[in-house]
Amino acid sequence: METSYGLMGDIDIFCLTVKYPGKLTIYATVEKKFGSSSGNPSIKIDILNPDVVKAGEWKDPVTGKKASPVYNSDKTIKRIIAIRKPGKIYLKVDRYEVDAYYTFKVFYEDMGKPESKPLPSAIQEIEPNDRINQAMSLPLRQPVTGHTGNMGKYGLEGNSDYYAVEIPYPGKVTVFLTIEGIYGQEEKGEPSIKISIVNEKEMVSGSWKDPYTGEDVSSIFYKGNKGKSIFVKSSGKLFLRLDRYEANAKYTLIVIFYEFNEYQ
């Protein structure tokens, strides 16, 4: 996280170098007016080279809807934008109505790199975990490999897996689920998994979203899907259910958590 302070009298340009595609979040506050000009103190933050880094559109991080990059309030305003190509991002801070003192912070989240420190080695799913009372306890950031479906006495059965994840505070949960391939010789169709939260009424707010753009996404994972995020409004055990969708699948699951103060 980087904080910059400025006094608008011209254009300020800042450079941020990123090594991976990801999501850029701007937190900006207009402190007060500078000078005697009439009007509202305000600034506009934009990207000078959007075509080079393949930038998307500025969005509200909570709703995922398109939002203006103009800041004219003494409250901190947040905006996010998807960066699809690594390189140098040139941020331009420009006066909008009248000159202003401002503060802004920049947070960049690498796509597929939820934290800089390495993840622990993957563990194996513990069967049976086909019912909520059999849910496997899964620490945050702990990769687990498993598969929907289980070879039982009468063949392939148990097409659901349950996991219990302890959430310490309200915040954002991002689920990374990599589909490794099909499970079961008799299975037909594309290996895929539908993810749901069993205790969603008590624990979550809103729906699954793309963790980098904030747009609404399906709850179904296919091969090549990156991740899905949802806001958690309460601490406690979050029960995840993974269901076979088209065909039973081998998978690797990772659950990442961010506190609200990183995103709100």
Q: What is the pLDDT of residues 156-197, one digit of tens each?
A: 556 799 999 998 877 889 999 999 999 887 778 899 999 999
Give the three-state DSSP class for 223.
coil
Averaged pLDDT score across all residues of the chain? 84
Q: Same CATH topology for 2-110 and 123-262?
A: yes
Q: How many CB atoms lie within 10 A of CB 18?
A: 18
Beta carbons within 8 Å of 187's beta carbon, 6+ residues apart: 149, 156, 247, 248
Beta carbons within 8 Å of 201's beta carbon, 6+ residues apart: none
Residue in 128, 202, 137 with CA at minimum distance from that of residue 163: 137
CB 43 within 8 A of CB 100: yes
pLDDT number for residue 208: 95
Give the three-state DSSP class for 203.
helix
Residue in 168, 176, 171 with CA at minimum distance from that of residue 262: 171
Q: How far apart are CA 131 and CA 125, in angstroms?
A: 14
Which of 111-120, 121-130, 156-165, 249-258 shows the lowest per-residue confidence on average (mean pLDDT)? 111-120
Look at 103 and 239; give whichever has higher pLDDT: 239
Residue ranges covered by each domain of the chain: 2-110, 123-262
pLDDT number for residue 157: 59
Residue in 127, 204, 191 with CA at minimum distance from that of residue 162: 127
Q: Return the CATH number of the domain spanning residue range 2-110.
A: 2.60.120
Residues forming a β-bridge with 71: 43
pLDDT number for residue 55: 87
Task: Answer whether residue 261 shows pLDDT above 70.
Answer: no
pTM score of the predicted model: 0.60
Q: Classify domain 123-262 at the CATH topology level.
A: Jelly Rolls (2.60.120)
Task: Answer whether residue 233 shows pLDDT above 90.
Answer: no
CB 179 within 8 A of CB 222: yes
Determine what percent of the chain is predicted with pLDDT higher than 90.
Answer: 42
